[in-house]
Each structure stands twice: as C-alpha cells, then as structure tokens.
Amino acid sequence: MWKGRSARLVSTVIGATALSIVSAAAAASFEVSSYSSAPGGKEIEAGDYDAAIALASSPMWRRYAEEELVAATNLCVAYTVKSEFKAAEGACAEALTLARRADKATGARLRGNLATARALTNRGVLRAVTGDSLSAARDFRAAERLGGEWDAPRRNLAYLESSPEYRVAMTQDRN
C-alpha cells in the first residue's frame, strides 16, 4: 500500500525526442513533475510510459485522495510524453482538481499550494506541446504565483515565451 509513504516528486524534462510531435513548440524542453515513489513513478523515470500508465491506472491506487492525486499526476505526465493528448487532458484535469482539493485540506501532507502549482505546470506543458501557447502561459504564470521557490514554472514560461509559436499566438490574440 502506498499510503503512508512520502511521495518523492521528481522533475522530468520533456523534449522533442520524447514527445515526437510536429509542433515547433515541442522542440522545446519543458519540465514536468511526477511522483517517483508512487504508482508509475519509477516507470516514468525509466522511460517505460506504457508500464507507468498501466500501474497508475490500476483501481488499487484509487482508495485514498493522496493516492488518486499522485496516480493522476503520473498519468498526466506519461500520457503527455506518449503524445496521447486526449487521455493526457483528462488525467491533467483530474490531477489539477485533486491537487486543489489536497492543497485546501487541513493537515494535508502536500502543504501549501505546491500540488496545485505542479498540476498547473504539467497541464501547461501539455497545452504548450499541443499548440495552445496562450493557455500554457496562463498555467505557468499561475503555477509560478503558487509554487513559491519552485522554479519549473518560471523556466517553462521563459522557454515558451522565447518560441516563435508563442510570439505568433500573441500577435493573433491582439487582432
């Protein structure tokens, strides 16, 4: 049983080779966070995303709120890396909902708003690699406000803002 263990959060850099999608924004390296000591986490670290999805999808990890959060987070990351964007969208949305709930819970082990910041960052990466630069930037900015000293949202935003796709999206948004 995972409950009671501390979830070690790791950051993974996602680049074009891992994502293999045609969007030029995907040529960037974005940083996502997964829980390595949770369902699918070790598999994500090893690059076995199919095994990560199989483990994190198991109903046995859906008994407790914290387990649900880390499983959904790991699914979000694994599906994003595999370019299974529809599934990633659902997993990222679930992770964000569960993170907000965990951050609001009194006595939660995932204190503050860090879980929400991480979920927003992961969703921002998904949005960036699928071409929704403006929404990705909003997610990264929100995560940066919530994440305290955690720098991944800032680094992701800086990389996104340096991309030609972002600059084009900004121009189109003004028209």
Residue 155 reports pLDDT greater than 60 = yes
Q: How far, in Å, CA of 45 to CA of 86, rounded?
A: 22
Residues 6+ apart with CB under 8 A from 73: 33, 34, 35, 38, 95, 99, 118, 119, 122
Model pLDDT, residue 69 = 92
Residue 131 reports pLDDT greater than 60 = yes
Q: How far, in Å, CA of 15 to CA of 33, rounded?
A: 14
Q: How far, in Å, CA of 87 to CA of 18, rounded?
A: 17
Identify whether the C-beta of residue 122 lies closer than 8 Å to the C-beta of residue 128.
no
Identify whether the C-beta of residue 33 lies closer than 8 Å to the C-beta of residue 12.
yes
Tokens matching residue 156: 């992701």
Q: Does domain 9-174 have CATH number 1.25.40.10?
A: yes
R_g over Cα of the chain: 15
Q: Which of the four pLDDT bands, split at 50, 70 and 90, describes residue 37?
A: confident
Identify whether the C-beta of residue 25 lies closer than 8 Å to the C-beta of residue 165.
yes
Model pLDDT, residue 110 = 46
Phi, psi torsion values for 162, nearest 5 degrees: -85, -5
Question: Model-level pTM?
Answer: 0.79
- Using one digit for the tens of pLDDT, what is the confidence trace for 59-99? 887 777 788 999 999 999 999 999 999 999 999 999 999 99
Q: How far, in Å, CA of 109 to CA of 106, rounded?
A: 9
Q: How far, in Å, CA of 66 to CA of 98, rounded?
A: 8
Residue 118 is which amino acid?
R
